[in-house]
Amino acid sequence: MLTTVVFDADETLLDLRPAVTGGLMAVLDDMRRRTPAAADVTLAELESDWGAVFGELSAAPVTEIRRAALTRSLARAGLDDHLDEIADLFFARRFALTRPYPDVLPALATLRARYTLGFATNGNSRAERCGLAGEFAFEVYAHDNGLPKKPAPEFYAAVVAAAGVPASQIVYVGDSWVHDVVAPRSAGLRSVWLNRTGQARPDEFPPAAEVSTMADLPAVLVDLPAVSGGLPALPAG
């Protein structure tokens, strides 16, 4: 019996990309106001700074990764001493712009009548700061109390503990094949892949279901198959 539906945050419930772009545009405008040396710095360069630091810092808190990316961005214009104020500017704009996709709140309202709803993320998109205050019975955030990020098994164990029901009664819904489909299944949860962008589905470890919009989720969950065992554990790191 399915009793609990747990959601990833960014790119699942929250339309993050426009918010990050808006935050970086605010940073770039501020850099250009501060110094002529920023005149030739581009938005594309600021966007690339995230990828340049992410590999080495992938296990770190998202806020720390963003600050490292901004450090690179500011160095492009000799503004290294302004990290704290520029980071504050970025995060204020990013959170002000982060909102749910249009299909999210209606679907959550429908699902809440039947299931306990949870929110569990690697990122720093706190529900109350992103238009989702009061939507969930519980929330799980990586790095709270030392909790490692997905796909670490400890993350899904924390989800199960927060839900207070067996893993077999929980379905995890998200956009990441590794983090939200394969890893939850390895931990004994069911999984639904929210594939908003029409990506090709990998052959291995299929989810219990796949949807392209939250509007389809309530009907799909009614007939969700039971979890199947036998998946190997994901490699560490």
Q: Where are the domains of the chain?
A: 4-15+100-222, 16-97
Is the alpha carbon torsion for 118, 122, 126, 132 positive or negative? negative
Angle between helices 62-75 and 43-57 (to 10 degrees): 130
Note the pLDDT tens digit of each residue in 23-78.
999 999 999 999 999 999 999 999 999 999 999 999 999 999 999 999 999 999 99
Q: For residue 229, what pLDDT is reported?
A: 45
Q: Where residue 227 falls among pLDDT bands split at 50, 70, 90? A: low
Using one digit for the tens of pLDDT, what is the confidence trace for 74-109?
999 999 999 999 999 999 999 999 999 999 999 999
Residue 122 confidence class, pLDDT cut points 50, 70, 90: very high
For the chain, give the percent of residues with pLDDT over 70.
95
- Per-residue confidence band for 115, with pLDDT thresholds at 50, 70 and 90: very high
**Average pLDDT of the residues of the chain:** 94
The whole-number pLDDT of residue 185 equals 95
* Separation in Å, CA 199 to CA 13, 134, 174, 236: 17, 31, 13, 26
Q: Is the pLDDT of residue 234 over 70?
A: no
CA distance 152 to 147: 9
Q: Predicted confidence band at 231 (pLDDT cuts at 50, 70, 90)?
A: very low
CATH architecture of structural domain 4-15+100-222? 3-Layer(aba) Sandwich (3.40)
Beta-carbon contacts of 130 under 8 Å, excluding residues fewer than 6 positions away, are 9, 14, 95, 98, 99, 100
Could you tell me the fold of the domain covering 16-97?
Answer: Four Helix Bundle (Hemerythrin (Met), subunit A) (1.20.120)
pTM for this prediction: 0.92
Which structure tokens are listed for 216?
């389809």
> 226 pLDDT band (50/70/90 cuts)?
low
Assign 233 a pLDDT band (cuts: 50, 70, 90): very low
Taken in order 218, 207, 143, 48, is the CA torsion positive or negative?
A: negative
Q: What is the pLDDT of residues 133-159, one digit of tens each?
A: 999 999 999 999 999 999 999 999 999
